Amino acid sequence: MNLNSYLKEKEDIINKALDTVLPKEDEFPQRLHKAMRYSVFAGGKRVRPILCLACAEVFAKLNENITNIGCAIELIHTYSLIHDDLPALDNDDLRRGMPTNHKVFGEAMAILAGDALLASAFSIMASCKAATNDEQASLLDTIREIAKAAGSTGMVGGQVVDIESEGKEVAFPVLEYIHIHKTGELILASCRAGAIMAGADEKPLEAITKYGEAIGLAFQIADDILDVEGQREHMGKGVGGDAKKGKITYPAVLGIDESRKRAQELVDIAITVIGNFGPKAKPLVEIAKYIVERRK
Amino acid sequence: MNLNSYLKEKEDIINKALDTVLPKEDEFPQRLHKAMRYSVFAGGKRVRPILCLACAEVFAKLNENITNIGCAIELIHTYSLIHDDLPALDNDDLRRGMPTNHKVFGEAMAILAGDALLASAFSIMASCKAATNDEQASLLDTIREIAKAAGSTGMVGGQVVDIESEGKEVAFPVLEYIHIHKTGELILASCRAGAIMAGADEKPLEAITKYGEAIGLAFQIADDILDVEGQREHMGKGVGGDAKKGKITYPAVLGIDESRKRAQELVDIAITVIGNFGPKAKPLVEIAKYIVERRK
């Protein structure tokens, strides 16, 4: 398979669905909807929804529900970036080479656009069509898992510990906590949500869970390495930004070589645990490799 | 019936349930959970969850699901207050006589505590026990309606228009839009959620909807009047704060007497539409009256 065309195909599906589920720019209040759309369409790689779709396709054909769950996850990811970039948090002016939301729309609007994206994610999920008992149960499981992954013991928890650790000497378990929670939990939830919505049984769902855990952490380690090594035009933001902010990173704690080794080990684990799925899991294998090999 | 003891009884049920559904202060990350709990237990009147419970009791006995939906709504209300108070928005130092969340925990934590409260509301709702097809459908309807009420065409939409209207001459329909969306939508959703979770049929649900719309708007008009007339110790914040911020209010546009008349008309409508429910709706009647008669 050609990974690039696979990613492009899924990205197009997600972008089209995002355009459908989000309120239009001319819908009142226009400036709020403009702010929400600005960040959603600011060039994200759609890693999370693509993982959701790819995990679902191991078990069933894609349908509108699965695509919409993917969209909801991307909106949650986008809201977290908008709030992370705020002056009170990371105070970033650029994101993916474009001015951050609050730089364009002001702080108040950026806070509220983030809030609205989070709420709309749940509105989209709860609007999925679910007729049978099984479908409804899967949908409720999905909503619960994604909400938990986004919450105080998930993504927001990781973000809090990240901020509290800035400029401090922190132990390795704290670094791992930050990475697993700030990035890993939502990536894991993306994988599980896709599989659950596609009706995966318990045993295969366990494999998907291990896959999601491994690539979630690998993704963040790779991000840390890119922050040190990446080229400005690839990352769309200043390189070495983490170090400048006194943020704790894998390369800072383990060194570049050891970090790279750790990320590769995690990718190997991810590929091994889904070994039984056969050709249908080929995209998951390629995505796992891509996560550590990507240059942005 | 004695309204005060009724409100106290329901408030106790909600406070106990909130304590159960929220992560404890000693759960990691502790400071985040402390910040979340600080605002949740900062003396709210629990109007929304009480309405949820009172509407449910017209149709069925209370159960844990209904109480938890009430809690989720209160968490959404609390998150909206935390974010509203931020320096970039209303920049308030006091709320209910206590320092606002960002004054105690800092801006970054206040933003994240609000985010986590919003996410946890959906995690709590999606964790409700729902076995039958009907129960699952009601729960999904409830989640969808609450998410929509909280989103860009609901509460956040009202907040955006409120901020954009500050210090400007705005037309009456804009004022009404702000009030209906910023406060009304979540109050309406509280009423409908209670009735839906209690299995209300279409026709009675229509009556609850009209009741919720009327008291939602009456509540905000009463709030506007209290802001002008209320005593500092009753409101727990500076009186006349709205005018100082150049915020548009009912008394500013219609005058105090006309505003009071409009609120009373809405309460009369609310009481009329639930006239067929009999003694079980007595609390709803008393709550409607209380909304315009309260002194804080």
* Tens of pLDDT, residues B200-213: 999 999 999 999 99
Residue A159 at interface with chain B, using a CB cutoff of 8 Å: yes
Helix segments in A151-201, DSSP class H: 155-165, 172-179, 185-197
Q: Is the peptide bond before A49 cis (omega within 30 degrees of 0)?
A: no
Q: Does the pLDDT value for residue B232 go beyond 50? A: no
pLDDT score at A50: 98
Selected residues 10-29 of chain B with any CB under 8 Å from a CB in chain A = 23, 27-29
Tally of CA atoms within 13 A in the half-sphere of B255 that contains its CB: 3
Residue B14 pLDDT more than 90? yes
Residue corresponding to tokens 């695509």: A67
* Per-residue confidence (pLDDT) for residue A238, from 0 to 100: 54
d(CA A144, CA A119): 14
Which of A99, A68, A64 has the alpha carbon at shortest distance from A85?
A99
Q: Give the pLDDT score at B235.
A: 54
What pLDDT score does B252 carry? 87
Top-ranked range on mean pLDDT: pick from A251-265, B25-39, B216-230: B25-39
**Nearest CA distance, A170 vs chain B (angstrom):** 15
Establish if B170 touches chain A: CB-CB under 8 angstroms. no
Predicted confidence (pLDDT) at residue B239 exceeds the cutoff of 60: no
The pLDDT value recorded for residue A232 is: 46
How far apart CA B270 and CA B283 sit, in angstroms, is 12
Give chain A positions within 8 Å (CB) of B140.
Answer: 126, 130, 136, 139-140
By Cβ distance, the residue of B86, B107, B157 closest to A29 is B157
Q: Distance from A122 to chain B by nearest Cα, in Å? A: 6
- Assess A1–B contact: CB distance below 8 Å, yes or no: no
Residues of chain B neighbouring A23 (CB-CB closer than 8 A): 152-153
Write the DSSP symbol of residue A24: P
List, in sequence order, every residue forming a beta bridge with A94; answer none if it has no partner: A99
Rounded to 5°, the CA angle A138-A285-A224 comes to 95
CA distance B29 to A152: 8
Spell B256-273 as b/e; 16+ CB within 10 A means b.
Answer: eeebbebbbebbebbbeb
Min Cα–Cα distance to chain B from A143, Å: 6
User: How far A107 CA lies from chain B's nearest CA (Å)?
Assistant: 6
The answer, for A147 touching chain B at a CB cutoff of 8 Å, is yes
Going from the C-alpha of A20 to that of each of A82, B155, B232, the distances in angstroms are: 21, 22, 48
Task: Report the Cα–Cα distance between both ends of chain A, in Å, rounded.
Answer: 21
Which amino acid is present at B193? A
Q: Does residue B287 register a pLDDT over 60? A: yes
Q: Is the peptide bond before B251 cis (omega within 30 degrees of 0)?
A: no
CATH number given to A3-293: 1.10.600.10
Please say if the pLDDT value at position B125 is more than 70.
yes
Residues B136-167 have pLDDT tens digits of 999 999 999 999 999 999 999 999 999 999 88
Domain spans, chain B: 3-293
CB proximity A114 to B under 8 Å: yes
Q: Supply the pLDDT for residue B294.
A: 83
Residue B6 touches partner A, C-beta closer than 8 Å: no
pTM score, two decimals? 0.96
Q: Does A127 touch chain B (CB under 8 A)?
A: yes
pLDDT band, residue B290 (cuts 50/70/90): very high
Q: How far apart are CA A110 and CA A289, in angstroms?
A: 34
- Positions in chain A short of pLDDT 50: 232-233
Q: A133: which chain B residues are within 8 Å (Cβ-Cβ)?
A: 132-133, 136
